[in-house]
Amino acid sequence: MIELDGVSHWYGQRQVLADLTLSLGERRVGVVGSNGSGKSTFARLLNGLLVPGEGQVRVDGLDTRKQGKAVRRKVGFVFQDPDVQIVMPTVGEDLAFGLKHRGQDKAEIARRVDAALAQYGLAELREHPAHLLSGGQKQLLAIAAVLITEPTHVIFDEPTTLLDLGNRRRIARLIRDMDQQVVVVSHDLDLLADFDRVLVFDRGRVVADGKPDGCIATYQAMHPPL
């Protein structure tokens, strides 16, 4: 369960989120809204990458302000741009990185890396330089590198923006089949169509909140075709 209690946020003098109070308990929560409406800021608050200027964010009862490290172990974050997330020279090493950081033993790391390479169709790329992967392969690697650490919640900030149709569908399937709670910020409305709940952001506020059909229709009505 992710809870926001009276959350507002500012960059300098500029308010970008205004008094959000929400309980997110559904398994798949989508977030849509215009450019600059505050979605990425909201996403970053959920795993403590940012702490709110005002109010409280709690993940399974842990306060992101006071227990940030514990929250970040629970909540994985997949960035829009996989280049900011890929930190090691090869695909295999990149997958192992988060596990080493968490002090896992060698045998367990090897077991989990093998499993992840197979699961994400990356087995032939184990020794491949990570920065030479295609955009779609990098995105898959970035997602795999988060999921391998077994977070209980995963936040995706526009995970399909760089992807072709085939890889978009692959990520959509992966998100559909995940056991963890996921919060997905996306401009890809098809991706969110079968989610449990969708939030529509406008100028730092949630202006619609409910099942995808109604919320996506509300969002589309805010932007009528020319």
| Nearest distance from C-beta of residue 2 to ligand ATP, angstroms | 17
Query: For ligand ATP, which residue of 6, 36, 89, 129 counts as binding (CB under 6 A)?
Result: 36
Instruction: Give the integer Cα–Cα distance in Å for 38 and 10.
Output: 10
Query: With CB under 6 A, what is the number of residues at the site for ligand ATP?
Result: 10
Q: How would you label 49-88 residue by residue, b for 16+ Cβ within 10 Å and e otherwise?
A: bbbbeebbbbbeebbbeebeeebbbbbbbbbbebeebbeb
40 touches ligand ATP (CB under 6 A): yes
Taking CB under 6 A as the criterion, the residue among 39, 74, 138, 197 binding ligand ATP is: 39
Whose tokens are 């401009």? That residue is 187
Is position 160 an interface residue for ligand ATP (rule: CB under 6 A)? no
Rounded least distance, CB 180 to ligand ATP, Å: 22
Contact of 215 with 198, CB cutoff 8 Å: yes
Does position 16 interact with ligand ATP (CB under 6 A)? The reply is yes
**Minimum distance, C-beta of residue 38 to ligand ATP, in the bound complex (Å):** 5
> Which of 30, 33, 55, 159 is in the footprint of ligand ATP by CB under 6 A?
33
Residue 197 — left, alpha, or beta (φ > 0 → left; ψ -120 to 50 → alpha)?
beta
Q: Which is nearer to ligand ATP, 16 or 24 (CB)?
A: 16
Scanning the chain, the segments in alpha helix (DSSP H) are 39-46, 68-74, 91-101, 106-119, 135-147, 165-177, 189-192, 212-222
Taking the least distance from each CB to ligand ATP, the nearer of 38 and 151 is: 38
Q: Which is closer to ligand ATP, CB of 169 or CB of 203? A: 203
Torsion of CA 199, 158, 165, 219, to 10 degrees: 30
Amino acid at 94: D
Q: Does 11 bind ligand ATP (CB under 6 A)?
A: yes
Min dist CB 104 to ligand ATP, Å, is 33
Binding residues for ligand ATP (CB under 6 A): 11, 16, 33, 35-41
